[in-house]
Amino acid sequence: MIITEPLLSPGSLVQMTSQPSTSSSLNCGILGHVDSGKTTLTRRIADMGSTSAFDAHAVTDIRRNTLDLGFSTMEIGGRRLALIDCPGHSRLIRAVLAASTVFDMAIVVIDAISGIQPQTAEHLLLASLFCPHRLILVLNKIDLAAEKNVKVCIFDMFITRSYI
Ligand SMILES: Nc1nc2c(ncn2[C@@H]2O[C@H](COP(=O)(O)OP(=O)(O)O)[C@@H](O)[C@H]2O)c(=O)[nH]1
Ligand SMILES: [Mg+2]
Protein backbone atom coordinates (compact mmCIF):
# COMPACT_ATOMS: atom_id res chain seq x y z
CA MET A 1 0.00 0.00 0.00
CA ILE A 2 1.30 3.45 -0.90
CA ILE A 3 0.17 6.29 1.36
CA THR A 4 0.31 9.59 -0.46
CA GLU A 5 -1.44 11.76 2.14
CA PRO A 6 -0.12 12.35 5.66
CA LEU A 7 -2.17 10.24 8.09
CA LEU A 8 -2.91 13.22 10.29
CA SER A 9 -3.44 16.22 8.04
CA PRO A 10 -4.39 19.51 9.74
CA GLY A 11 -7.94 19.05 8.39
CA SER A 12 -8.38 15.63 9.96
CA LEU A 13 -7.05 16.94 13.29
CA VAL A 14 -9.70 19.67 13.32
CA GLN A 15 -12.37 17.07 12.50
CA MET A 16 -11.29 14.80 15.32
CA THR A 17 -11.02 17.52 17.93
CA SER A 18 -14.06 19.64 17.06
CA GLN A 19 -16.66 18.20 19.46
CA PRO A 20 -16.18 16.28 22.70
CA SER A 21 -18.35 13.17 23.02
CA THR A 22 -21.88 13.68 24.35
CA SER A 23 -22.27 10.00 25.22
CA SER A 24 -22.34 8.95 28.89
CA SER A 25 -19.05 7.14 28.38
CA LEU A 26 -15.82 9.11 27.95
CA ASN A 27 -12.33 8.04 26.94
CA CYS A 28 -9.76 9.44 29.36
CA GLY A 29 -6.06 9.27 28.52
CA ILE A 30 -3.59 8.97 31.40
CA LEU A 31 -0.46 10.69 30.16
CA GLY A 32 2.97 11.75 31.40
CA HIS A 33 6.69 10.99 31.35
CA VAL A 34 7.86 7.48 32.25
CA ASP A 35 7.90 6.87 36.02
CA SER A 36 5.72 9.89 36.85
CA GLY A 37 3.10 7.59 38.41
CA LYS A 38 0.47 7.10 35.66
CA THR A 39 -0.10 3.39 36.25
CA THR A 40 -0.14 3.83 40.04
CA LEU A 41 -2.78 6.57 39.73
CA THR A 42 -4.83 4.51 37.26
CA ARG A 43 -4.75 1.48 39.54
CA ARG A 44 -5.99 3.65 42.43
CA ILE A 45 -8.94 5.23 40.64
CA ALA A 46 -10.07 2.30 38.45
CA ASP A 47 -13.09 0.18 39.41
CA MET A 48 -12.36 -2.53 36.88
CA GLY A 49 -9.27 -3.44 34.86
CA SER A 50 -8.96 -5.34 31.61
CA THR A 51 -6.38 -8.08 31.12
CA SER A 52 -4.01 -5.47 29.73
CA ALA A 53 -4.36 -3.02 32.63
CA PHE A 54 -1.79 -2.02 35.26
CA ASP A 55 1.34 -3.32 33.53
CA ALA A 56 -0.03 -6.87 33.42
CA HIS A 57 2.27 -7.70 30.52
CA ALA A 58 5.45 -5.97 31.67
CA VAL A 59 8.47 -8.00 30.60
CA THR A 60 10.24 -7.77 33.91
CA ASP A 61 9.15 -7.62 37.52
CA ILE A 62 12.23 -5.61 38.41
CA ARG A 63 11.14 -2.44 36.62
CA ARG A 64 7.53 -2.68 35.55
CA ASN A 65 7.59 -0.23 32.65
CA THR A 66 4.31 0.19 30.84
CA LEU A 67 4.99 -1.29 27.39
CA ASP A 68 1.58 -0.84 25.81
CA LEU A 69 -1.74 0.88 26.33
CA GLY A 70 -3.59 -0.34 29.45
CA PHE A 71 -7.39 -0.26 29.63
CA SER A 72 -9.58 0.02 32.71
CA THR A 73 -12.78 1.79 33.73
CA MET A 74 -14.24 3.92 36.51
CA GLU A 75 -17.73 5.29 37.20
CA ILE A 76 -18.15 8.89 38.27
CA GLY A 77 -21.24 11.10 38.38
CA GLY A 78 -23.25 8.54 36.41
CA ARG A 79 -20.69 8.47 33.62
CA ARG A 80 -18.28 5.76 32.77
CA LEU A 81 -14.70 6.71 32.05
CA ALA A 82 -12.55 4.37 30.01
CA LEU A 83 -9.07 4.97 31.43
CA ILE A 84 -6.32 4.55 28.84
CA ASP A 85 -3.00 4.28 30.66
CA CYS A 86 -0.33 5.29 28.14
CA PRO A 87 3.34 4.33 28.01
CA GLY A 88 5.62 7.23 28.92
CA HIS A 89 8.71 6.07 27.06
CA SER A 90 9.84 8.18 24.09
CA ARG A 91 10.02 5.12 21.77
CA LEU A 92 6.34 4.35 22.37
CA ILE A 93 5.00 7.75 21.33
CA ARG A 94 3.28 6.27 18.24
CA ALA A 95 0.97 4.20 20.44
CA VAL A 96 0.18 7.30 22.51
CA LEU A 97 -0.52 9.33 19.37
CA ALA A 98 -2.86 6.62 18.05
CA ALA A 99 -4.75 6.47 21.35
CA SER A 100 -4.94 10.25 21.66
CA THR A 101 -7.21 10.51 18.63
CA VAL A 102 -10.10 9.01 20.66
CA PHE A 103 -9.53 10.94 23.90
CA ASP A 104 -12.46 12.97 25.22
CA MET A 105 -10.33 14.07 28.15
CA ALA A 106 -6.87 13.52 29.59
CA ILE A 107 -5.06 13.44 32.90
CA VAL A 108 -1.40 14.45 32.58
CA VAL A 109 0.69 13.30 35.53
CA ILE A 110 3.71 15.44 36.45
CA ASP A 111 6.44 14.13 38.75
CA ALA A 112 7.03 16.85 41.37
CA ILE A 113 10.67 15.83 41.75
CA SER A 114 11.60 16.10 38.07
CA GLY A 115 9.07 18.66 36.86
CA ILE A 116 8.01 18.84 33.22
CA GLN A 117 10.09 16.27 31.31
CA PRO A 118 10.33 15.54 27.54
CA GLN A 119 7.37 13.15 27.36
CA THR A 120 5.35 15.36 29.72
CA ALA A 121 5.74 18.11 27.12
CA GLU A 122 4.93 15.77 24.20
CA HIS A 123 1.86 14.42 25.92
CA LEU A 124 0.70 17.92 26.86
CA LEU A 125 0.97 18.82 23.20
CA LEU A 126 -1.19 15.83 22.21
CA ALA A 127 -3.76 16.66 24.90
CA SER A 128 -3.84 20.28 23.73
CA LEU A 129 -4.67 19.04 20.21
CA PHE A 130 -7.21 16.33 21.01
CA CYS A 131 -8.97 17.46 24.20
CA PRO A 132 -7.84 21.01 25.00
CA HIS A 133 -10.83 21.85 27.20
CA ARG A 134 -10.89 18.64 29.20
CA LEU A 135 -7.45 18.37 30.67
CA ILE A 136 -6.47 17.71 34.29
CA LEU A 137 -2.88 18.22 35.43
CA VAL A 138 -1.87 16.06 38.41
CA LEU A 139 1.20 16.93 40.48
CA ASN A 140 2.43 13.59 41.78
CA LYS A 141 5.09 12.35 44.22
CA ILE A 142 4.77 15.45 46.39
CA ASP A 143 5.57 13.23 49.39
CA LEU A 144 9.11 12.86 47.99
CA ALA A 145 9.73 16.30 46.53
CA ALA A 146 11.33 19.27 48.26
CA GLU A 147 8.94 22.18 48.86
CA LYS A 148 10.97 24.32 46.42
CA ASN A 149 10.48 21.75 43.61
CA VAL A 150 6.75 21.58 44.27
CA LYS A 151 6.48 25.38 44.00
CA VAL A 152 8.44 25.40 40.72
CA CYS A 153 6.18 22.66 39.33
CA ILE A 154 3.02 24.54 40.29
CA PHE A 155 4.40 27.65 38.58
CA ASP A 156 5.23 25.59 35.44
CA MET A 157 1.75 24.09 35.48
CA PHE A 158 0.18 27.56 35.47
CA ILE A 159 2.37 28.59 32.54
CA THR A 160 1.56 25.35 30.70
CA ARG A 161 -2.17 25.78 31.32
CA SER A 162 -2.10 29.30 29.91
CA TYR A 163 -0.57 27.94 26.66
CA ILE A 164 -3.19 25.19 26.22
N1 LIG B 1 6.50 8.03 46.83
C2 LIG B 1 5.68 7.96 45.81
N3 LIG B 1 5.89 7.03 44.88
C4 LIG B 1 5.03 6.99 43.83
C5 LIG B 1 3.93 7.88 43.70
N6 LIG B 1 3.30 7.58 42.56
C7 LIG B 1 3.97 6.55 42.01
N8 LIG B 1 5.02 6.17 42.76
C9 LIG B 1 6.00 5.11 42.48
O10 LIG B 1 6.73 5.50 41.32
C11 LIG B 1 7.11 4.37 40.55
C12 LIG B 1 6.64 4.54 39.12
O13 LIG B 1 5.22 4.55 39.10
P14 LIG B 1 4.40 4.08 37.82
O15 LIG B 1 2.95 4.24 38.18
O16 LIG B 1 4.86 2.74 37.33
O17 LIG B 1 4.84 5.18 36.76
P18 LIG B 1 4.49 5.29 35.20
O19 LIG B 1 5.72 4.86 34.47
O20 LIG B 1 4.19 6.74 34.97
O21 LIG B 1 3.30 4.42 34.94
C22 LIG B 1 6.49 3.15 41.25
O23 LIG B 1 7.49 2.54 42.04
C24 LIG B 1 5.40 3.76 42.14
O25 LIG B 1 5.15 3.00 43.30
C26 LIG B 1 3.73 8.87 44.73
O27 LIG B 1 2.82 9.71 44.70
N28 LIG B 1 4.65 8.86 45.75
MG1 LIG C 1 3.00 2.95 33.59
Measured between alpha carbons, how far is 46 from 28 in angstroms, rounded to an integer? 12
Atom of ligand 1 at shortest range from CA of 109 = 20
| Fold (CATH) for 23-163 | Rossmann fold (3.40.50)
pLDDT tens readout for residues 39-81: 999 999 999 887 777 877 666 554 556 678 999 999 998 889 9
CA 12 to mean position of chain CA atoms: 21
pLDDT tens readout for residues 101-153: 999 999 999 999 999 999 999 999 999 989 988 999 999 999 998 888 888 88
| Per-residue pLDDT, 45 | 94
Q: Are 72 and 88 in contact (CB under 8 A)?
A: no
pTM listed for this prediction: 0.83
> Which residue's alpha carbon is at the smallest distance from atom 10 of ligand 1?
37
| Per-residue pLDDT, 17 | 55
Atom of ligand 1 at shortest range from CA of 40 = 15
Nearest to 112, CA basis, from 147, 74, 65? 147
